[in-house]
Structure 1
Amino acid sequence: MTSTTVDERARTYSAHGRPFWRRALLTREAAIIGILLLVIVVSLATVRNFDSPLTVTYLLRDIAPILLIALPMTLIIITEEIDLSVASIVGLSSVTVGVLTQAGWPFEVAALAAIVVGLVAGAINGFLVTVVGLPSLAVTIGTLALFRGIAVGLLGTEAVTEFPETWTDLAKANIPGTPLPLIMIPFAVLAIVFAVLLHLTPFGRSLYAIGLNKEAAQFSGIDVARTKFVLFVLSGTVSGFAGVYFTLLYSNARGENAMGMELQIIAAVLLGGVSIFGGRGALHGVIAGVLLIGTLGSALRLAGVTSDIINVITGVLLVLSVVSASLLAWLQSRRAASLGKRRGARSAASAATV
C-alpha cells in the first residue's frame, strides 16, 4: 500500500501539485500583464495627454503590424525556430502593392498579390529549413537581406504614395464610437484563431512537443518538418498582410518600410514569456508584451524622451526577459532535482519499512 502511494505521488507533475491560483497568477505572463497595468497607471498619473483618445488610437495603429506578426512568430519560437525575415517581407509586400497599383492594377488585386508574395517568401524560408535542413537563424538572416534587396531594387530611392482614398481612409479609421482602430477587428479574429490553434488543438500541443524535444516528437508520430513548414508559411502570409496595412496607414510604399521591426517583434514575444529555447509560451503573454513595449514607448515619447533612449530601454527589457527565463529554468531544475532526491529517499525508507 505504501509503495503504491509513493509511486502515484511520483507520477504527479509538480506544477499541478500547486493550488490553481498559484498556477494562474505566479507566471511570467501574469507578471507582464501586471507590469503593463502598472505602466498604464503611472503614465496616466504623470504623463501629459497620455489619457487622450488620440494616444490610444495612434498607439494601436503603430503597433498593429507588430501585434499581427507576433502571432505566428510565437508559434515559430515555441518550436525552437526563429524568423528574422518578417520585416523584410513587410517591405517586399509593401513594394509589391505599390508597384502593381502604380502599374494600373486594381488595388484589391494588388493587395492580394502582395499577400501571396508574403506566402511565397514564407514558403521559401520553410523549404530551406525543413527540406534542405538549414538552421532557421542562418536561413532567415539570409532571406532578410534577400527580400529587402529585392524590395529596394524594385523601387530604388523612389516611393509610391498614390493609393485609393477609400482604402487609406479605411486603414486609418476607428471602430465607430471608440478610439480603437479598425485594424483591431482582423487582429482580434486572428488572435482568437491562433489562440485556439495553439492552446486547444492537437496541432498546438505538437508545437510544444517539438520545442521540448524534436526527436521525441518525431518518434511519437508528429510530422515535424511539415509542421514547421506550415508555421513559416503562416508567418510570411501574415507579414504580407501587415505590409499591405503598413502601406495604407502611411500612404507610402518603399523598400525600406518596416526596417528593424523584426527586433521589436522578437523582443515582444520573448518579453511575453515565450522561451527562446522552445517548448514554452502563451499568446496572452505575447500580446501583453507587445502592448507593454508600445505603451512604454508612447509614454516616453510624450514625456520628451528621445527614440535612442527608448531603443536602449527596449533592449534592456529584451535582455532581462531572456536572462530571467534562463534563471527561472535553472531554479526550476534545481528544485526538481532536490524534489527527486527527497522522493528517492522516501521511497528507500518505505521499501525498508516494508
Structure 2
Amino acid sequence: MSDLARGGKQKDNAVLEVRRRLATWDSIIVLLTVFVLVVASFSVTNFGTSRNFTFMILDLLPIVLVALPMTFIIVTGEIDLSVASTLGLASSIMGYLWNQGLSIESIIPICVVVGAVLGAINGFLVTGLGLPSLAVTIGTLALYRGLAFVVLGDGAVADFPFTYTGWVTGTIGDGPVPNVLVLILVLAAIFGVILHATPFGRSLFAIGANAQAAHFSGIRVARTKFWLYVVSGAVAGLVGVLWTLRYSSARADNGAGLELAVVAAVLLGGVSIFGGKGSLPGVLAGVVLLAALQNALRLQDVSGQALNIVTGALLVLSVLLPNIATSIRTTWQRRKLRRAATV
C-alpha cells in the first residue's frame, strides 16, 4: 500500500472515529447543554450575568454532589431514592445540636456520620437481606423524612454563624466564582478517576452488566454495593449541612423532592437505569443542563409546579430517548449486515 493510500485510510478512520464519538449520548448532552446556555444567555434577561452564574452554581451544588455517588449506585443496577430525606434528617440534627450548644466544627462530622449510618441501613437491607433497592429506598425515604420531623418538628433554626454561611454563599475574591465550586471540582475529579481509571470503577460496570458473572469473576458484589450506599448517605449528610448553611435555616423539609432532580440528571447524562453503562462527564453535563433549564425558567417567573413538570419530563425522556436510539442503531446495524450478506 502506498503512503498516499495509507494516509487516506488513516484520515477516513479518524473521521469515522470523530463521528462515532459525536454520536454518543454523552456528546449529545454536552452539545445540548452548550446550546441551552448560549440561547438562554441571549434570550433570558439576567441569565448571563455574573451574579446569576453564582446563584446557578449554588443551585446545582446539592444536585451534583448527590449525583456523584448516585452515578456509582445506578451503574451497578441499583438506586437510592432516600438521599433527599437523608439530607433533611441531617439538617434537622444540625439544627437540634446547634440549639443544644454544640459547635459547628463538632456538628458537621456528626451529620456526615449520621448520613453514613442511614446509607448503611439501606445497604444492609439491599445487600444483606436481598431486598429490591427501589422498594427499600422508597420506604426509607418516608422513614428518614418522618424522623427529621420528630427531631426538629415544623420549626426552623436560623442563627448559624456568618463565618460558615458566608463561606458557602461567598465567592473567591471579588469574582463571580463561588467558593463551593472548588469543592464540586475536587469531588467530581475524585469520583471521575475512581469510576473511569481504577479496577474498582471497572468492577462497578461489570456488576451492572451482569452481577452473577461479576461474582464468579471474584468481585465482591454485595460488599461493593453496601459501601456505595454508605458513601451515598455520607455525601447526602454533608449536603444537608451545606444546604442548611446556604439558606441559614435548618428544617425537616429541606431538600424535599431533590431525589427526582438527581436521578433525572444522572439518567439524562447517559447512565443506564438498568446498570452497566454511563460516564461521569455525561452526568455532570446533565446536571448543568437541568440546572440551566430550571434557572432560566425561574428568571421567567415560571411556577414551582411547572419546574416539577420539566424535571419529570426530563426524567421520562432520559429513559426513553437512549432506548429509542439503541433500537434505531441496532436495527440499522442488522440491515447493514443483511445487505453485506446478500452482496
Common topology (TM > 0.5): yes
| 2:90 pairs with 1:123 | no
Q: Quick one: distance in 1 between partners of 2:339 and 2:213? A: 28
1:329 to 315, 318, 326: 326
2:240 to 243, 259, 283: 243
The answer to whether the Cα contact below 8 Å between 2:93 and 2:152 also exists between their aligned partners in 1 is no
Q: Give how far 1:332 is off.
A: 3.7
1:199 to 186, 196, 199: 196
The answer to whether the Cα contact below 8 Å between 2:169 and 2:178 also exists between their aligned partners in 1 is yes
Q: Quick one: distance in 2 between partners of 1:334 and 1:68? A: 38
Q: Quick one: distance in 2 between partners of 1:305 and 1:92? A: 29
Q: Quick one: distance in 2 between partners of 1:165 and 1:285? A: 35
For 1:299, give the aligned amino acid: A
1:60 to 57, 62, 82: 57
For 1:52, give the aligned amino acid: T
- Match for residue 93 of structure 1? 90
Q: Aligned pair in 2 of structure 1 residues 227, 27: CA closer, same or farther (>3 Å)? A: same
The answer to whether the Cα contact below 8 Å between 2:260 and 2:311 also exists between their aligned partners in 1 is no
Q: Quick one: distance in 1 between partners of 2:302 and 2:280? A: 30
| 2:186 pairs with 1:189 | yes
1:311 to 304, 308, 317: 308
Q: Give how far 1:336 is off.
A: 5.3
Q: TM-score, normalized by length of structure 2?
A: 0.92
Q: Give how far 1:162 is off.
A: 1.4
Q: Aligned pair in 2 of structure 1 residues 218, 331: CA closer, same or farther (>3 Å)? A: farther
For 2:210, give the aligned amino acid: N
| 2:294 pairs with 1:297 | yes
Deviations 1:261-319 (A, max 9, x none): 00010011111111111111111111111111111111122123222222222222221
Residue range with higher mean Cα deviation, 16-25 or 226-235: 16-25
1:231 to 228, 233, 238: 228
- Match for residue 33 of structure 1? 30
- Match for residue 8 of structure 2? none
- Match for residue 255 of structure 1? 252
For 1:24, give the aligned amino acid: R
The answer to whether the Cα contact below 8 Å between 2:75 and 2:205 also exists between their aligned partners in 1 is yes
Structure 1's unaligned 5+ residue stretches are 1-15, 350-354
RMSD: 1.9
Deviations 1:158-205 (A, max 9, x none): 111111221111111112243121111111111001000000011111
- Match for residue 284 of structure 1? 281
For 1:134, give the aligned amino acid: L
| 2:47 pairs with 1:50 | yes
- Match for residue 170 of structure 2? 173
Q: Aligned pair in 2 of structure 1 residues 224, 342: CA closer, same or farther (>3 Å)? A: farther
Q: Give how far 1:17 is off.
A: 11
For 1:191, give the aligned amino acid: A
| 2:209 pairs with 1:212 | yes
Residue range with higher mean Cα deviation, 245-254 or 173-182: 173-182
SS of the aligned residue for 2:297 comes to helix
Q: Quick one: distance in 2 between partners of 1:318 and 1:191? A: 22
Q: Quick one: distance in 2 between partners of 1:70 and 1:140? A: 16
Q: Quick one: distance in 2 between partners of 1:95 and 1:68? A: 19
Structure 2's unaligned 5+ residue stretches are 1-12
Q: Quick one: distance in 1 between partners of 2:122 and 2:339? A: 47
SS of the aligned residue for 1:19 comes to helix
Deviations 1:218-253 (A, max 9, x none): 111111101111111110111111000000000111
For 1:209, give the aligned amino acid: A
SS of the aligned residue for 1:276 comes to coil
For 1:35, give the aligned amino acid: L
For 1:283, give the aligned amino acid: L
